[in-house]
Amino acid sequence: MKVLVYGGGQLARMMYLAGCPLGIHVRAVDVNKDQVINPISKAPSTVSLQEAIDDADVVTAEFEHVPEHLLKLADESGKLKPSIAAIRTGADRVKEKGLLSELGIATSEYQVMRNVSELPDIVQKLNTPLVLKASRDGYDGYGQWRLKQPDDIAALAQTLSKLDLQNVPIIVEKMINFSREVSLVGVRSEKGEFAFYPLVENHHHEGQLHLTLAPAPEVSEALQAQAQEIFVKLAEKLNYIGVLAVEFFQVGEQLLVNEIAPRVHNSGHWTMQGADTCQFENHLRAVCGLPLGSTEVRSATAMVNIIGCGSFSRDMLAIPGCHIHWYGKSARAKRKLGHFNISAKNNQDLAARLLDLAKHLPQESFPLLEAEAQKLQKY
């Protein structure tokens, strides 16, 4: 089978690698140039975009911010999975919040702001502290602002006045006093069958995911069931096919949806070593109409993002259960260059291996690693 992936980054690369053993040939598209490329080398193809769509059995996406004309081309072919509606929803926080409200799924209290003059009234309704998020094209902390107290309204309004809020509204959310951030990665087949990975615990720094612990410590059966119920509601409403990620704030034993991602997800990278079938293979299985793979957990696993740091030895590969996945990118600040997956038989052993890993890495580039490893020792 042949799959065409919109986007030429690391997620397309990992789908290509997962597809090879299945006999699935994956091509990618540089969506900034409308150009078909090799997912590994990034070399341009002589095949045109339309020819690649015609030749593909399936068109999918590695991220939701795909230009509209490309989405329409794939949608018109009848080959786009997940659907154009699902991708549009994941790309637009206004649509996303509307879907959550329609389905009665808990999320943070919010208002939509389409003119900066509305900010004082919104602050009065929601009260500070608030987080403001661009409804489109925001990721890894970009397109987000904090409002901690009413005295800061004037300064923030001046910043936001430079933006086109009619075209890209802002979601203003009440900041949640949550205990932790968790996410659920699952997959739905063409036949409507589901498979779920366990809830994982995510740790962010400056708006970027730095560390994922899988499975998340201290997750009750009820909490996992709550997450899966929310996932099923979303996936069935969207008639979703493929891997979907749902990010949550945990408040006590309640989960509030932060956002959804209609694609394979950074918090699912641990599955490459920690689960029987990784998320990339399961996405390909789903969109190609193949049976879903087992999501059984093989080991306690941590995923550690390598962000902006390309210069370190590889001596950590001597640590048992340590695997590095390099994306072949040049280093620059805040750029995801690769990730580590560290696996162990239990959380105590995993914590010890993470502490060992921290000794090999510059602390300034991995600021959460040592402290979170020490916390993990108690589980």
DSSP 147-215: E-SGGGHHHHHHHHTTS-TTTS-EEEEEPP--SEEEEEEEEE-TTS-EEEPPPEEEEEETTEEEEEEES
Q: What is the CATH number of domain 2-80?
A: 3.40.50.20
pLDDT score, position 170: 97
For residue 3, the tally of other CB atoms under 10 A from its CB is 24
Query: Residue 296: what pLDDT?
Result: 98
Intra-chain end-to-end CA distance of the chain, in Å: 44
Q: Which residues contact 298 (CB under 8 A, 6 or more apart)?
A: 273, 274, 275, 276, 343
The pLDDT value recorded for residue 311 is 83
**pLDDT given for residue 142 in this prediction:** 74
Q: Is the distance from CB of 29 to CB of 70 less than 8 angstroms?
A: yes
Whole-model pTM: value is 0.96
Q: Beta strands 58-61 and 2-6: pairing type?
A: parallel
Task: Tell me what pLDDT residue 220 has.
Answer: 97
Rounded distance between C-alpha atoms, residue 14 and residue 280, angstroms:
7
pLDDT tens sequence for the chain (379 residues): 999 999 999 999 999 999 999 999 999 999 999 999 999 999 999 999 999 999 999 999 999 999 999 999 999 999 999 999 999 999 999 999 999 999 999 999 999 999 999 999 999 999 999 999 999 986 666 789 999 999 999 999 999 999 999 999 999 999 999 999 999 999 999 999 999 999 999 999 999 999 999 999 999 999 999 999 999 999 999 999 999 999 999 999 999 999 999 999 999 999 999 999 999 999 999 999 999 999 999 999 999 999 999 888 999 999 999 999 999 999 999 999 999 999 999 999 999 999 999 999 999 999 999 999 999 998 8
If one counts every other C-beta atom within 10 angstroms of the C-beta of residue 316, the result is 18
Pick the CATH number of 180-376 from 3.30.750.24, 3.30.470.20, 3.40.50.720, 3.30.70.270: 3.30.470.20
pLDDT at 342: 98
Start and end residues for every CATH 3.30.1490.20 domain found in the chain: 109-174
- List the beta strands (DSSP E) in the chain: 2-6, 25-30, 35-37, 58-61, 110-113, 130-134, 144-147, 170-174, 180-188, 194-196, 200-205, 208-214, 242-251, 254-261, 300-307, 322-326, 336-344
Rounded to the nearest 5 degrees, what angle is found at the Cα of 99, between the Cα atoms of 93 and 102?
140
Count of C-beta atoms within a 10 Å radius of residue 172: 23
Structural tokens at position 22 = 């299945």
Question: In this structure, what DSSP letter does residue 32 have?
Answer: T
Intervals of CATH 3.30.470.20 along the chain: 180-376
- Residue intervals of the chain classified under CATH 3.40.50.20 are 2-80
Instruction: Tell whether domain 109-174 is in CATH 3.30.1490.20.
Output: yes
